[in-house]
Structure 1
Amino acid sequence: MSTAPTPTATTRPSSARQRLLDAATELFYGEGIHSVGVDRIIEAAGVTRATMYKQFEGKEGLVLAYLRGEDDQLRGLFDAAGAASDDPDVLLELVIEGIAEDIRLRHTRGCPFINAAAEYPDEGPVRDLIAEHREWFRSTLEHLATTAGLDDPAGLAASLVLLRDAALVGGYLDGQDRVAPAFARTARGVISSHRP
Protein backbone atom coordinates (compact mmCIF):
# COMPACT_ATOMS: atom_id res chain seq x y z
CA MET A 1 0.00 0.00 0.00
CA SER A 2 1.23 3.47 -0.74
CA THR A 3 1.80 5.73 2.18
CA ALA A 4 0.95 9.41 2.23
CA PRO A 5 3.70 11.56 3.71
CA THR A 6 3.25 12.30 7.38
CA PRO A 7 3.73 15.94 8.33
CA THR A 8 6.92 16.54 10.28
CA ALA A 9 8.29 19.59 12.00
CA THR A 10 9.75 20.71 8.67
CA THR A 11 6.71 19.94 6.50
CA ARG A 12 3.87 20.87 8.86
CA PRO A 13 1.71 23.56 7.24
CA SER A 14 1.70 27.04 8.75
CA SER A 15 -1.11 27.93 11.09
CA ALA A 16 -2.62 30.35 8.55
CA ARG A 17 -2.39 27.79 5.77
CA GLN A 18 -4.06 25.15 7.93
CA ARG A 19 -6.85 27.53 8.97
CA LEU A 20 -7.48 28.37 5.31
CA LEU A 21 -7.52 24.71 4.37
CA ASP A 22 -9.83 23.78 7.26
CA ALA A 23 -12.24 26.58 6.38
CA ALA A 24 -12.18 25.71 2.67
CA THR A 25 -12.71 22.01 3.38
CA GLU A 26 -15.77 22.70 5.51
CA LEU A 27 -17.25 25.25 3.12
CA PHE A 28 -16.44 23.48 -0.15
CA TYR A 29 -17.78 20.15 1.06
CA GLY A 30 -20.81 21.63 2.79
CA GLU A 31 -21.88 24.20 0.21
CA GLY A 32 -20.08 23.46 -3.05
CA ILE A 33 -16.88 24.84 -4.47
CA HIS A 34 -18.24 27.43 -6.90
CA SER A 35 -20.81 28.77 -4.45
CA VAL A 36 -18.12 29.68 -1.90
CA GLY A 37 -16.10 32.78 -2.64
CA VAL A 38 -12.56 33.49 -1.52
CA ASP A 39 -13.79 36.24 0.82
CA ARG A 40 -15.88 33.77 2.82
CA ILE A 41 -12.92 31.45 3.21
CA ILE A 42 -10.65 34.31 4.26
CA GLU A 43 -13.20 35.49 6.81
CA ALA A 44 -13.77 31.99 8.21
CA ALA A 45 -10.03 31.40 8.47
CA GLY A 46 -9.34 34.79 10.05
CA VAL A 47 -6.50 35.69 7.68
CA THR A 48 -5.81 38.47 5.21
CA ARG A 49 -6.30 38.28 1.46
CA ALA A 50 -2.53 38.61 1.01
CA THR A 51 -1.99 35.59 3.26
CA MET A 52 -4.49 33.57 1.27
CA TYR A 53 -2.77 34.30 -2.04
CA LYS A 54 0.68 33.76 -0.54
CA GLN A 55 -0.34 30.31 0.70
CA PHE A 56 -2.40 29.08 -2.26
CA GLU A 57 -1.91 31.38 -5.27
CA GLY A 58 -5.65 31.58 -5.84
CA LYS A 59 -8.83 29.66 -5.34
CA GLU A 60 -7.89 26.78 -7.65
CA GLY A 61 -4.79 26.14 -5.55
CA LEU A 62 -7.01 25.95 -2.48
CA VAL A 63 -9.41 23.60 -4.28
CA LEU A 64 -6.50 21.32 -5.19
CA ALA A 65 -5.23 21.37 -1.59
CA TYR A 66 -8.75 20.52 -0.35
CA LEU A 67 -8.97 17.53 -2.69
CA ARG A 68 -5.45 16.39 -1.78
CA GLY A 69 -6.58 16.43 1.84
CA GLU A 70 -9.55 14.25 0.95
CA ASP A 71 -7.22 11.90 -0.93
CA ASP A 72 -4.88 11.76 2.08
CA GLN A 73 -7.84 10.87 4.31
CA LEU A 74 -8.74 7.82 2.20
CA ARG A 75 -5.10 6.77 1.90
CA GLY A 76 -4.91 7.06 5.67
CA LEU A 77 -7.78 4.59 5.97
CA PHE A 78 -5.77 2.07 3.94
CA ASP A 79 -2.62 2.83 5.94
CA ALA A 80 -4.48 2.23 9.22
CA ALA A 81 -5.76 -1.09 7.90
CA GLY A 82 -2.22 -2.04 6.85
CA ALA A 83 -0.89 -1.14 10.29
CA ALA A 84 -3.52 -3.36 11.92
CA SER A 85 -2.90 -6.49 9.85
CA ASP A 86 -1.01 -7.84 6.87
CA ASP A 87 -3.56 -10.60 6.18
CA PRO A 88 -5.21 -9.61 2.85
CA ASP A 89 -8.63 -10.92 3.91
CA VAL A 90 -8.47 -8.93 7.14
CA LEU A 91 -7.27 -5.88 5.21
CA LEU A 92 -10.26 -6.05 2.86
CA GLU A 93 -12.62 -6.30 5.84
CA LEU A 94 -10.93 -3.36 7.59
CA VAL A 95 -11.19 -1.28 4.43
CA ILE A 96 -14.91 -2.09 4.13
CA GLU A 97 -15.47 -1.18 7.78
CA GLY A 98 -13.46 2.02 7.36
CA ILE A 99 -15.44 3.10 4.30
CA ALA A 100 -18.74 2.32 6.04
CA GLU A 101 -17.64 4.40 9.04
CA ASP A 102 -16.57 7.22 6.71
CA ILE A 103 -20.03 7.18 5.09
CA ARG A 104 -21.70 7.36 8.51
CA LEU A 105 -19.49 9.94 10.19
CA ARG A 106 -17.49 12.10 7.80
CA HIS A 107 -18.79 12.19 4.25
CA THR A 108 -22.45 12.86 4.89
CA ARG A 109 -23.00 15.03 1.80
CA GLY A 110 -21.78 12.70 -0.91
CA CYS A 111 -18.34 12.02 -2.37
CA PRO A 112 -16.12 15.11 -2.43
CA PHE A 113 -14.53 13.94 -5.69
CA ILE A 114 -17.85 13.33 -7.46
CA ASN A 115 -19.11 16.68 -6.17
CA ALA A 116 -15.96 18.43 -7.43
CA ALA A 117 -16.15 16.65 -10.80
CA ALA A 118 -19.69 17.96 -11.26
CA GLU A 119 -18.39 21.50 -10.72
CA TYR A 120 -15.33 21.02 -12.93
CA PRO A 121 -16.62 19.23 -16.05
CA ASP A 122 -13.68 20.25 -18.26
CA GLU A 123 -10.12 18.99 -18.38
CA GLY A 124 -7.69 20.74 -16.11
CA PRO A 125 -5.77 20.36 -12.83
CA VAL A 126 -8.86 19.59 -10.72
CA ARG A 127 -10.06 16.84 -13.05
CA ASP A 128 -6.51 15.48 -13.29
CA LEU A 129 -6.32 15.21 -9.50
CA ILE A 130 -9.72 13.51 -9.35
CA ALA A 131 -8.63 10.98 -12.01
CA GLU A 132 -5.37 10.33 -10.15
CA HIS A 133 -7.25 9.72 -6.90
CA ARG A 134 -9.72 7.33 -8.50
CA GLU A 135 -6.97 5.40 -10.27
CA TRP A 136 -5.05 5.05 -6.98
CA PHE A 137 -8.19 3.83 -5.19
CA ARG A 138 -9.05 1.31 -7.91
CA SER A 139 -5.49 -0.01 -8.27
CA THR A 140 -5.05 -0.33 -4.49
CA LEU A 141 -8.25 -2.37 -4.23
CA GLU A 142 -7.12 -4.49 -7.18
CA HIS A 143 -3.78 -5.11 -5.45
CA LEU A 144 -5.57 -6.19 -2.24
CA ALA A 145 -7.82 -8.52 -4.21
CA THR A 146 -4.83 -10.02 -6.04
CA THR A 147 -2.94 -10.52 -2.78
CA ALA A 148 -6.02 -12.21 -1.27
CA GLY A 149 -6.11 -14.64 -4.22
CA LEU A 150 -9.56 -13.52 -5.38
CA ASP A 151 -10.84 -14.13 -8.91
CA ASP A 152 -10.88 -11.21 -11.36
CA PRO A 153 -9.20 -8.63 -9.10
CA ALA A 154 -9.76 -5.82 -11.63
CA GLY A 155 -13.48 -6.59 -11.83
CA LEU A 156 -13.76 -6.79 -8.05
CA ALA A 157 -11.96 -3.46 -7.64
CA ALA A 158 -14.25 -1.81 -10.20
CA SER A 159 -17.29 -3.15 -8.32
CA LEU A 160 -16.04 -1.88 -4.96
CA VAL A 161 -15.30 1.58 -6.40
CA LEU A 162 -18.82 1.67 -7.83
CA LEU A 163 -20.31 0.57 -4.49
CA ARG A 164 -18.44 3.28 -2.59
CA ASP A 165 -19.53 5.91 -5.10
CA ALA A 166 -23.14 4.79 -4.79
CA ALA A 167 -22.98 4.57 -1.01
CA LEU A 168 -21.58 8.09 -0.60
CA VAL A 169 -24.29 9.55 -2.81
CA GLY A 170 -26.98 7.28 -1.34
CA GLY A 171 -25.96 8.13 2.21
CA TYR A 172 -26.58 11.79 1.47
CA LEU A 173 -29.98 11.08 -0.08
CA ASP A 174 -31.28 8.23 2.07
CA GLY A 175 -29.37 8.61 5.33
CA GLN A 176 -26.03 7.24 6.40
CA ASP A 177 -27.47 4.83 8.97
CA ARG A 178 -29.41 3.06 6.26
CA VAL A 179 -26.76 3.13 3.56
CA ALA A 180 -23.51 2.38 5.45
CA PRO A 181 -24.59 -1.12 6.58
CA ALA A 182 -26.02 -1.83 3.12
CA PHE A 183 -22.67 -0.85 1.59
CA ALA A 184 -20.75 -3.14 3.96
CA ARG A 185 -23.13 -6.06 3.40
CA THR A 186 -23.07 -5.67 -0.38
CA ALA A 187 -19.27 -5.23 -0.51
CA ARG A 188 -18.79 -8.41 1.53
CA GLY A 189 -21.13 -10.24 -0.84
CA VAL A 190 -19.21 -9.02 -3.88
CA ILE A 191 -15.93 -10.14 -2.31
CA SER A 192 -17.39 -13.57 -1.49
CA SER A 193 -18.53 -13.97 -5.08
CA HIS A 194 -14.91 -13.55 -6.22
CA ARG A 195 -13.51 -16.27 -3.99
CA PRO A 196 -12.17 -19.25 -5.97
Structure 2
Amino acid sequence: MFYANGIRATSADRIIEQVGITKVTFYRHLRTKDDLVVAYLERTAGWERSAVSLALEGRGAVDALRAIAMSIGADSCRPGFRGCAFINAAAEFPDAEHSVRIVVDAHRRWTLDVFTGLAVDAGVADPGAVAGQLMMLRDGAMVSGYLSDPESIAEALGAAYLAVVEAGRHPQGA
Protein backbone atom coordinates (compact mmCIF):
# COMPACT_ATOMS: atom_id res chain seq x y z
CA MET A 1 0.00 0.00 0.00
CA PHE A 2 2.87 2.38 0.73
CA TYR A 3 4.39 1.70 -2.68
CA ALA A 4 1.14 1.69 -4.65
CA ASN A 5 -0.54 4.68 -3.03
CA GLY A 6 2.22 6.66 -1.35
CA ILE A 7 3.33 6.60 2.26
CA ARG A 8 1.52 9.69 3.50
CA ALA A 9 -1.62 8.77 1.55
CA THR A 10 -1.79 5.39 3.32
CA SER A 11 -3.19 5.89 6.80
CA ALA A 12 -2.59 3.62 9.77
CA ASP A 13 -6.36 3.11 9.93
CA ARG A 14 -6.38 1.89 6.32
CA ILE A 15 -3.54 -0.54 7.04
CA ILE A 16 -5.27 -1.80 10.18
CA GLU A 17 -8.49 -2.34 8.24
CA GLN A 18 -6.72 -4.07 5.33
CA VAL A 19 -4.76 -6.40 7.60
CA GLY A 20 -7.78 -7.12 9.78
CA ILE A 21 -6.29 -6.36 13.17
CA THR A 22 -7.26 -3.98 15.94
CA LYS A 23 -5.62 -0.63 16.61
CA VAL A 24 -4.45 -2.00 19.95
CA THR A 25 -2.65 -4.88 18.20
CA PHE A 26 -1.10 -2.56 15.62
CA TYR A 27 0.22 -0.13 18.22
CA ARG A 28 1.35 -2.94 20.53
CA HIS A 29 3.82 -3.99 17.82
CA LEU A 30 4.61 -0.58 16.33
CA ARG A 31 4.90 2.72 18.16
CA THR A 32 3.99 4.70 15.05
CA LYS A 33 3.15 4.27 11.39
CA ASP A 34 6.68 5.53 10.69
CA ASP A 35 8.03 2.37 12.36
CA LEU A 36 6.10 0.34 9.79
CA VAL A 37 7.45 2.52 6.98
CA VAL A 38 11.00 1.90 8.23
CA ALA A 39 10.35 -1.87 8.32
CA TYR A 40 8.89 -1.73 4.79
CA LEU A 41 11.96 0.12 3.47
CA GLU A 42 14.38 -2.20 5.28
CA ARG A 43 12.65 -5.21 3.72
CA THR A 44 12.74 -3.54 0.30
CA ALA A 45 16.45 -2.80 0.80
CA GLY A 46 17.02 -6.47 1.59
CA TRP A 47 15.32 -7.53 -1.64
CA GLU A 48 17.37 -5.06 -3.67
CA ARG A 49 20.59 -6.17 -2.01
CA SER A 50 19.79 -9.78 -2.84
CA ALA A 51 19.12 -8.86 -6.48
CA VAL A 52 22.38 -6.90 -6.71
CA SER A 53 24.30 -9.73 -5.04
CA LEU A 54 22.97 -12.11 -7.70
CA ALA A 55 24.03 -9.67 -10.41
CA LEU A 56 27.55 -9.47 -8.96
CA GLU A 57 27.99 -13.18 -8.40
CA GLY A 58 30.86 -14.53 -10.49
CA ARG A 59 30.93 -11.55 -12.84
CA GLY A 60 33.49 -8.90 -13.64
CA ALA A 61 32.57 -5.24 -13.26
CA VAL A 62 31.26 -4.70 -16.80
CA ASP A 63 29.15 -7.86 -16.83
CA ALA A 64 27.85 -7.06 -13.34
CA LEU A 65 26.77 -3.59 -14.49
CA ARG A 66 24.96 -5.16 -17.45
CA ALA A 67 23.21 -7.58 -15.08
CA ILE A 68 22.20 -4.75 -12.75
CA ALA A 69 20.82 -2.82 -15.74
CA MET A 70 18.85 -5.90 -16.83
CA SER A 71 17.46 -6.29 -13.32
CA ILE A 72 16.36 -2.65 -13.19
CA GLY A 73 14.83 -2.99 -16.64
CA ALA A 74 12.92 -6.11 -15.63
CA ASP A 75 11.76 -4.49 -12.40
CA SER A 76 10.53 -1.38 -14.21
CA CYS A 77 8.50 -3.53 -16.61
CA ARG A 78 6.49 -5.29 -13.93
CA PRO A 79 2.84 -4.30 -13.44
CA GLY A 80 2.35 -1.62 -10.81
CA PHE A 81 5.89 -0.24 -11.07
CA ARG A 82 5.97 3.26 -9.57
CA GLY A 83 9.69 4.02 -9.55
CA CYS A 84 12.22 3.55 -6.79
CA ALA A 85 10.67 3.04 -3.35
CA PHE A 86 13.58 4.94 -1.79
CA ILE A 87 13.34 7.95 -4.08
CA ASN A 88 9.58 7.99 -3.49
CA ALA A 89 10.04 7.83 0.29
CA ALA A 90 12.68 10.58 0.24
CA ALA A 91 10.26 12.82 -1.67
CA GLU A 92 7.66 12.33 1.07
CA PHE A 93 10.08 12.78 3.98
CA PRO A 94 12.31 15.80 3.31
CA ASP A 95 13.75 15.94 6.86
CA ALA A 96 17.19 14.28 6.66
CA GLU A 97 17.01 13.41 10.38
CA HIS A 98 13.71 11.50 10.09
CA SER A 99 13.95 7.73 10.64
CA VAL A 100 12.58 7.07 7.14
CA ARG A 101 15.28 9.25 5.55
CA ILE A 102 17.95 7.54 7.63
CA VAL A 103 16.95 4.17 6.11
CA VAL A 104 16.78 5.71 2.62
CA ASP A 105 20.22 7.27 3.02
CA ALA A 106 21.74 4.05 4.38
CA HIS A 107 20.47 2.08 1.39
CA ARG A 108 21.70 4.70 -1.04
CA ARG A 109 25.14 4.66 0.62
CA TRP A 110 25.19 0.86 0.25
CA THR A 111 24.28 1.16 -3.44
CA LEU A 112 26.94 3.83 -3.97
CA ASP A 113 29.50 1.57 -2.26
CA VAL A 114 28.60 -1.23 -4.68
CA PHE A 115 29.08 1.12 -7.62
CA THR A 116 32.38 2.36 -6.17
CA GLY A 117 33.62 -1.23 -5.89
CA LEU A 118 32.60 -1.93 -9.48
CA ALA A 119 34.34 1.26 -10.63
CA VAL A 120 37.53 0.21 -8.84
CA ASP A 121 37.30 -3.26 -10.39
CA ALA A 122 36.77 -1.68 -13.83
CA GLY A 123 40.01 0.27 -13.45
CA VAL A 124 38.61 3.79 -13.73
CA ALA A 125 40.76 6.77 -12.78
CA ASP A 126 38.28 8.30 -10.29
CA PRO A 127 36.06 5.57 -8.80
CA GLY A 128 34.11 7.99 -6.60
CA ALA A 129 33.11 10.20 -9.51
CA VAL A 130 32.19 7.23 -11.70
CA ALA A 131 30.16 5.67 -8.86
CA GLY A 132 28.21 8.92 -8.50
CA GLN A 133 27.50 8.92 -12.22
CA LEU A 134 26.38 5.29 -12.14
CA MET A 135 24.08 6.12 -9.22
CA MET A 136 22.59 9.06 -11.09
CA LEU A 137 21.95 6.83 -14.10
CA ARG A 138 20.30 4.24 -11.86
CA ASP A 139 18.04 6.90 -10.35
CA GLY A 140 17.14 8.23 -13.78
CA ALA A 141 16.35 4.74 -15.04
CA MET A 142 14.05 4.12 -12.09
CA VAL A 143 12.15 7.33 -12.81
CA SER A 144 12.15 6.73 -16.57
CA GLY A 145 10.75 3.25 -16.09
CA TYR A 146 7.75 4.79 -14.40
CA LEU A 147 7.29 7.78 -16.68
CA SER A 148 8.19 6.38 -20.09
CA ASP A 149 8.67 3.12 -21.95
CA PRO A 150 10.07 0.65 -19.42
CA GLU A 151 10.85 -1.87 -22.16
CA SER A 152 13.88 0.16 -23.30
CA ILE A 153 15.29 0.86 -19.82
CA ALA A 154 17.65 -2.12 -19.52
CA GLU A 155 19.28 -1.55 -22.89
CA ALA A 156 19.68 2.20 -22.44
CA LEU A 157 20.91 1.89 -18.86
CA GLY A 158 23.40 -0.85 -19.74
CA ALA A 159 24.81 1.24 -22.59
CA ALA A 160 25.04 4.32 -20.36
CA TYR A 161 26.79 2.36 -17.58
CA LEU A 162 29.36 1.06 -20.05
CA ALA A 163 29.92 4.52 -21.56
CA VAL A 164 30.56 6.01 -18.11
CA VAL A 165 33.02 3.24 -17.22
CA GLU A 166 34.82 3.59 -20.55
CA ALA A 167 35.04 7.37 -20.15
CA GLY A 168 36.33 6.82 -16.61
CA ARG A 169 39.09 4.59 -17.89
CA HIS A 170 40.25 7.26 -20.34
CA PRO A 171 39.57 10.64 -18.71
CA GLN A 172 40.03 13.69 -20.90
CA GLY A 173 43.44 15.27 -20.56
CA ALA A 174 45.00 12.05 -19.31
Change (3 A) 1:166 1:75: same
In structure 2, the residue matched to 1:118 is: 91
Question: 1:86 Cα deviation (Å)?
Answer: 4.6
Higher relative contact order (CA closer than 8 Å, sequence separation 6+): 2
Change (3 A) 1:187 1:111: same
Question: 1:105 Cα deviation (Å)?
Answer: 2.4
Paired residues of 1:104 and 1:180 also in contact (CA < 8 A): no
CA shift digits 1:42-62 (9 cap, x unpaired): 222222222222332220100
Gapped regions of structure 2 (runs ≥ 5): none
**Is residue 2:50 matched to residue 1:76?**
yes
Runs of 4+ in 1 over 6 A off after TM superposition: none
Aligned length: 169
Secondary structure, aligned partner of 1:109 = coil
**TM-score, length-normalised on structure 2?**
0.86
**TM-score, length-normalised on structure 1?**
0.77
In structure 2, the residue matched to 1:90 is: 63
Question: 1:194 Cα deviation (Å)?
Answer: 2.4
Gapped regions of structure 1 (runs ≥ 5): 1-26
CA shift digits 1:107-150 (9 cap, x unpaired): 72121111111111113111111111111111111012212323
Give runs of aligned pairs for residues 84-163 of structure 1, distance below 5 A. 85-105=58-78, 108-122=81-95, 123-163=97-137
Rounded Cα–Cα distance in structure 2 between residues aligned with 1:86 and 1:173 = 31
Rounded Cα–Cα distance in structure 1 between residues aligned with 2:59 and 2:154 = 25
In structure 1, the residue matched to 2:150 is: 176
TM-align CA RMSD = 2.0
CA shift digits 1:73-128 (9 cap, x unpaired): 21111221243x15333323222222222222277212111111111111311111
Percent of counterpart pairs with the same letter? 37
In structure 1, the residue matched to 2:164 is: 190
